[in-house]
Copies of this chain bind each other. A is one copy, B any other.
Amino acid sequence: MESVYHRIRNQHLQYKVVSAEEAASWIKDGMTLGLSGFTRAGDAKAVPMALAERAKTERLKVNVYTGASLGSDIDKLFAEVGLLHKRLPFQADPTMRKKINQGEFYFIDQHLSKTSEMVRGQVLEPIDFAIVEAIAITEDGMIIPSTSVGNSMVFAQHAKSIIVEINMAQPQALEGLHDLYEPGRQGERLPIPITKPDDRIGSVGIPVDMGKIRGIVFTNQSDSPSTISVPDKETDTIAQHLISFLRKEVEAGRLTKRLAPLQSGIGSVSNAVLHGFLKSEFTDLEVYSEVLQDAVFDLMDAGKVSFASCCSITLSAPAMERVFPNLDKYRDRLILRPQELSNHPEVIRRMGIIAINTALEFDIYGNVNSTHVMGTNMMNGIGGSGDFARNARLAIFVTKSTAKDGNISSIVPFVSHVDHTEHDVDVVVTEQGYADLRGLAPRERAELIIERCAHPMYREQLKEYYNEALTRGGQTPHVLEKAFSWHTNFAQTGTMLHKMLQTG
């Protein structure tokens, strides 16, 4: 039990060790749970699994709040066993997605910086149990998170009871990398004193009322590795266009070769784009982002990134093997924060972050859909893209210009769902090129987007729509009865391409 003493440093807490099954048995039908976990990293694993097991044989519905998506197939399990009543603020699991879109339970898609305000402000159902993964609990009762911080702090501090999962498989060297800070209630708080990515402002763990820790469960299971695909020719080209744009900003004197702190969304495209910086002239870069994916560590190894602040480290299996046993190498260059702070509008606006996020589709005026396939079906959620894009120095959205073998154009007349309005979108980039929309009126935007970003096979079709719209007039010309015709055509015929263009 030596390891127990080392991981549970307060002797009163050492008597709280229980099995996952016992901890799960405390959870009742109708309760609300706040789980650690952000994009497959640092999720509580054993208790949620034991809970899902229970739900197979008894009536059990709970609300589940998390940081973001969970790993270890927990979201899949939860969805399969019908455990959920309400789930927020993000998910990324195919099974869960399917059930959400079938309306089997409620999913609330939130700006990731906002969930904490709603918990603190007592707007959401109160949290009965916070279930958080940790690498240790200190003598004074601070919970040391693992590979993500997410919403663990606000969940633990506001939950009626806390269950801690101490995961022996997580690198102990994570201790000391976290920076936990509670901003306080709106109307009573002071400025958040972060002015640069490497500012440390809080404690290395989550201070909690020890009396609320009801149980501690030991686990020994690594995070699920991320499944990002390797950069391909198109994502490489997107990266090159983005770098050309940034190069022009440096030439114009608006940026230096250090650029500004970078944020990059989760996923293969974002990772590939960030990867593109390896071959750029930019140097001494800083990252202030939600999630660090493989590319950031590659950039650190290459001496390109000097510091990275995040709320989660989510790596592929090979990157995990490379990074986690060597955390000491990155120790002085890493901070893990609550997602409320990694995504805080105040800090993002102050530092003037360059935000790079992925669009599902965008329209000729620069409105972006990040979430809803064909306007109705949830993909993952808006995540932090809104926190960053609205407040960034440069709000950049990237996507391939087509999907589904060219049958979907990512540039459409009117996005079928709006997550980011024209006001919040500075630059759009596809493998075709980039459009710098800053200071442009809608009519100027449309011409540039069609010319620079649309795939050639859809360009004439977009022009046709836009020219017809121009005959109707307006600040933002549209032909409303045809605005979604591309989407409805796809639903009916399997392609957004007009028939004439297909045959001709």
Residues of A within 8 A of B (CB): 86, 88, 100-103, 106-111, 114, 117-118, 121-125, 185-187, 189-193, 195, 252-254, 260-261, 344-346, 349-352, 367, 372, 374-378, 382, 386, 390-391, 393, 416-423, 438-441, 443-444, 469-470, 472-478, 480-481, 483-485, 487-488, 491
Residues of B within 8 A of A393 (CB): 117, 121, 186-187
Instruction: Give Cα A416 to B479, complex, Å.
Output: 11
- What residue in chain B is nearest A487 (Cβ atoms)? B480
- What residue in chain B is nearest A186 (Cβ atoms)? B352
Cβ–Cβ contact A375 & B191, under 8 A: no
Cβ–Cβ contact B102 & A423, under 8 A: no
Cβ–Cβ contact B476 & A441, under 8 A: no
- What residue in chain B is nearest A416 (Cβ atoms)? B480
Partner of A386 from the list B195, B374, B423, B487 (CB cut-off 8 Å) is B423
Partner of A345 from the list B109, B123, B391 (CB cut-off 8 Å) is B391
Cβ–Cβ contact B191 & A367, under 8 A: no
Cβ–Cβ contact B488 & A481, under 8 A: yes
Cβ–Cβ contact B391 & A101, under 8 A: no
Residues of B within 8 A of A390 (CB): 345, 386, 390
Instruction: Give Cα A346 to B441, complex, Å.
Output: 27
Instruction: Give Cα A101 to B124, complex, Å.
Output: 43
Cβ–Cβ contact B477 & A439, under 8 A: no
Cβ–Cβ contact B376 & A474, under 8 A: yes
Cβ–Cβ contact A260 & B382, under 8 A: no
Residues of B within 8 A of A110 (CB): 423
- What residue in chain B is nearest A193 (Cβ atoms)? B191
Cβ–Cβ contact B254 & A423, under 8 A: no
Instruction: Give Cα A377 to B469, complex, Å.
Output: 12
Oligomeric state, in copies = 2
Chain A contact surface mostly: loop
Partner of A191 from the list B195, B253, B254, B261 (CB cut-off 8 Å) is B195
Residues of B within 8 A of A261 (CB): 187
Instruction: Give Cα A481 to B376, complex, Å.
Output: 12
* Interchain residue pairs A-B with the least CB separation, the first 6: A186-B352, A376-B474, A191-B191, A378-B475, A106-B441, A418-B418
- What residue in chain B is nearest A422 (Cβ atoms)? B109
- What residue in chain B is nearest A194 (Cβ atoms)? B191
Residues of B within 8 A of A107 (CB): 441, 475
Residue pairs across A and B with Cβ atoms less than 8 A apart, 18 shown, are: A101-B475, A106-B444, A118-B439, A121-B352, A186-B350, A186-B352, A187-B393, A189-B350, A191-B346, A345-B349, A346-B346, A346-B350, A367-B418, A375-B478, A376-B475, A386-B390, A418-B418, A420-B421
Cβ–Cβ contact A421 & B421, under 8 A: yes
Shortest A183–chain B CB gap in Å is 8
Residues of B within 8 A of A124 (CB): 438-439
Shortest A397–chain B CB gap in Å is 15
